[in-house]
Amino acid sequence: GENVGLHLPTLSVQEGDNSIINCAYSNSASDYFIWYKQESGKGPQFIIDIRSNMDKRQGQRVTVLLNKTVKHLSLQIAATQPGDSAVYFCAVPKPNSGGSNYKLTFGKGTLLTVNP
Amino acid sequence: GAGVSQSPRYKVAKRGQDVALRCDPISGHVSLFWYQQALGQGPEFLTYFQNEAQLDKSGLPSDRFFAERPEGSVSTLKIQRTQQEDSAVYLCASSPRDRRLRTIYFGEGSWLTVV
């Protein structure tokens, strides 16, 4: 099966700093990765995704880096704001599963706290 | 509504009681998913519908769990004879096209506590 884990369960940063959230995955066949943000009392919200043919993808204030050699990806948030406080999950669909690639395996999550 | 709507938002059930959790997906969305999220954990896949067809129920933890989407719109997740380990947030998600992970929208979840 797929194991998706995070190195740090909690991260506390000052407003304006950059944040880096890490994620490790176990299945080298995984070819698509998604980062979600989950605020307290809400459902996960899509942030950014990346395919395995890329090693970097940028969005608005967020960047995802993928290192397939060590099976690691990270989410970087620039100029972190209080509104970024949430739990962040990486998720991967089941690889090489034909029609079952809709099944997402989520990591445990990292709680990001932004101090004003 | 504009998003995925779930009800009830909070449910306290006595052990052994049956519960029904409702999901109203975004209008016109073909795909519908149910996930279970235990406290402090990431969501775990339960089941998947494409329109009214339940194409995958491999994540349902036991035969006490049953899901349906009879008209291809609203879905209900039913849990019979609830047990304490069923306490979790049950998340519903929908997507406008078949298996488009990038455009999956999650509801706010139904928080179930079994006492």
- Tell me the pLDDT band of A6, cut-offs 50, 70 and 90: very low
Average pLDDT over residues A14-26: 95
CA distance A44 to chain B (A): 6
The reported pLDDT for the residue numbered A2 is 55
- A97-101, B29-33, B97-101, B107-111: range with highest mean pLDDT: B107-111
Q: Do A91 and B31 touch (CB under 8 A)?
A: no
Residue pLDDT, tens place only, B36-52 = 999 889 999 999 999 99
Torsion on CA atoms B35, B39, B42, B47, rounded to nearest 10? -10
Interface of A with B (CB under 8 A): 4, 32, 34, 41-46, 49, 89, 91, 93, 99-109
Say which range, A9-23, A84-98, B4-18, B58-72, has the weakest mean pLDDT: A84-98
DSSP-derived 3-state class of residue A26: coil
Mean pLDDT of chain A: 89
For A42, nearest residue in chain B (alpha carbons): B108
pLDDT of B92 over the 80 cut: yes
Q: Please determine, for residue B100, whether its predicted confidence score (pLDDT) is greater than 70.
A: no
Q: What is the pLDDT of residues A55-104, one digit of tens each?
A: 999 999 999 999 999 999 999 999 999 999 999 999 998 765 555 567 89
The answer to whether residue A1 scores a pLDDT higher than 50 is: no
Contact partners, residue A105, CB within 8 Å, separation at least 6: A1, A2, A4, A91, A92, A93, A94, B45
Per DSSP, the residues of A36-98 read: EEE-TTS--EEEEEEETT-SEEE-SSEEEEEETTTTEEEEEESS--GGG-EEEEEEEEPTT-G
Question: What share of chain A has pLDDT > 70, as a percent?
Answer: 87
Instruction: With CB atoms and an 8 Å threshold, state whether B44 touches A106.
Output: yes
Is the pLDDT reported for residue A7 higher than 50? no
The whole-angstrom separation of Cα B52 and Cα B45 is: 18
| Model confidence at A28: pLDDT above 90 | no
| pLDDT reading at A108 higher than 60 | yes
pLDDT at B98: 61
| Interface probe, candidates A2, A34, A102, A111, chain B, greatest B C-beta count within 10 A | A102
* Helix, strand, or coil (residue B115): coil
DSSP annotation of A19 reads E
Question: What integer pLDDT is reported at residue B23 of this predicted model?
Answer: 98
Which one-letter amino acid corresponds to residue A43? G
pLDDT at A101: 65
What does the block give as tokens for A92?
């991967």
State whether residue A111 is helix, strand or coil: strand
Q: Tell me what the mean pLDDT of segment B61-89 comes to.
A: 97
